[in-house]
Amino acid sequence: MPEKREILSALSIAAFMAVSVSCPGLAAADDNYKVIDLAPKNYKFSQATAVYGDQIVGWAEKQQGAVPHPLFWAGNPPHMVDLNNAQAGFVWSQAEGVGNHCQAGWGRGMVTDDEQHAVLWSGTSESEVDLNPEGFMSSQAYGMAGNQEVGYGRSIDGGRNHALLWTGSAQSVIDLNPPSAAASYANATDGVFQVGFASNHVNYHAMLWKGSAATAIDLNPPNYSFTEATGVCGGQQVGFGYMNGGGGHALLWKGTAASVVDLNPPGYQFCMAEATNGRQQVGWGYDSGGTTHALLWNGSAKNVVDLDNFLPDNFDGAHALDIDAEGDIVGYARDDEGRKHAIEWVLTRANSSSSGNVKNRQPDN
């Protein structure tokens, strides 16, 4: 069974082809980015999924289609750790969220009866905590912030997927599934609010929660048949949606459906916003020729920055997946042989020397 993000990405490509938390950071128009290739030398395919200061998580495959391993980079320069706990019986795992020296994701293997289980690490494979709650046959964690982890679980009763919120243990789980929803997923949290989407069997609506199912707010604007929220911070929520009879658009909200801002820049046929730090938004899009670009916004379509412009000449097809409070961005890009590389865009502040403002991020792997 493919995981949720793979399903939605397939839907996106098919459609294209036929109380707030303080999260500072704002790039100036003439800011620059230093690109760091985080790809491990012994892996051919990798991507970075989340960043929190000098901590980054992601995953990698030694061959395309091989079992993924969750990776954690920490320090300056970053030291890479493989978080897959093979000794405990995990065959493969993925890391999707990072914060407060913890990492969240999921794994599967003999120890989980070959079902996917949401897991929480604290920097080593041996620290793994199984978050799969009682009453759920499988689960995945997609994001974390503060002391919260979010994702979804597939219930034993009927096999429906429910958005879930944890605070460090399986026993702490809170079911966020709205009473009227057939299914739901939580994609991100800022430590107070959670975002994702809910389904009524026909349509998918972006959702905003504050710790319980009863607090759910439907962010789906008029004229949109499908929306999903993927990131939250500083009173902002981001994601994407399909207009009735149209293509996919990157979207920005501020707590209500009526507040929606369309981030699609001219010349792009599909865009998706993946994350926000409360001021900036990052994601990716297909241009008119079908080429993928990593994108950075500062609240509107008119000030979009193409992050592919900072890549080395042998890289293209980038996706930006997360941005931290300092404005540093992670994701991936493909080399001229089509291999996926985990990438970090490190912000260089405008009108200042790079030596004092760029992290020493050359990885030691």
Give the tens place of pLDDT for each residue, 176-193.
Answer: 999 999 999 999 999 999
Separation of alpha carbons 9 and 4, rounded Å: 9
pLDDT at 5: 47
At residue 352, does pLDDT exceed 90? no
Domain-embedded: residue 212: yes
CB atoms within 10 A of CB 281: 30
pTM of the complete model: 0.89
- Using pLDDT thresholds of 50, 70 and 90, give the confidence band for residue 355: very low
**86 vs 259, which has greater pLDDT?**
259
pLDDT at 159: 80
DSSP one-letter code for 6: H
Domain-embedded: residue 218: yes
**Average confidence score pLDDT of the chain:** 88
pLDDT at 15: 36
pLDDT at 363: 60
Domain-embedded: residue 113: yes
- Using pLDDT thresholds of 50, 70 and 90, give the confidence band for residue 353: very low
pLDDT at 76: 80
Domain-embedded: residue 364: no
Cross-strand bridge partners of residue 150: 143, 165
Domain-embedded: residue 210: yes
Domain-embedded: residue 11: yes
Give the tens place of pLDDT for each residue, 145-169.
Answer: 999 999 999 999 878 999 999 999 9
Domain-embedded: residue 111: yes
What's the CATH number where 49 sits?
Answer: 2.120.10.30
Q: How far is CA 232 from CA 20, 21, 210, 253, in A?
A: 10, 9, 11, 9
Number of domains into which the chain is organized? 1
One-character DSSP codes across 168-217: SSGGG-EE---TT-SEEEEEEE-SS-EEEEEE-SS-EEEEEESSSGGG-E
Structure tokens, 281: 């938004």
Separation of alpha carbons 192 and 208, rounded Å: 11
At residue 225, does pLDDT exceed 60? yes
Give the largest CA-CA distance in the chain: 59
Give the tens place of pLDDT for each residue, 20-37.
Answer: 333 434 444 567 999 999
Separation of alpha carbons 103 and 232, rounded Å: 18
- Using pLDDT thresholds of 50, 70 and 90, give the confidence band for residue 227: very high
At residue 53, does pLDDT exceed 90? yes
> Is residue 23 helix, strand or coil?
coil
Give the tens place of pLDDT for each residue, 247-297.
Answer: 899 999 999 999 999 999 999 999 999 999 999 999 999 998 889 999 999
Q: How far is CA 299 from CA 21, 56, 251, 282, 336, in A?
A: 17, 25, 10, 10, 32
pLDDT at 147: 95
pLDDT at 365: 60
Considering only CA atoms, give the Rg of the chain. Answer: 19
Q: What residue numbers bound the domain in which 287 lies?
A: 4-356
At residue 358, does pLDDT exceed 60? no
CB atoms within 10 A of CB 74: 18
Domain-embedded: residue 92: yes
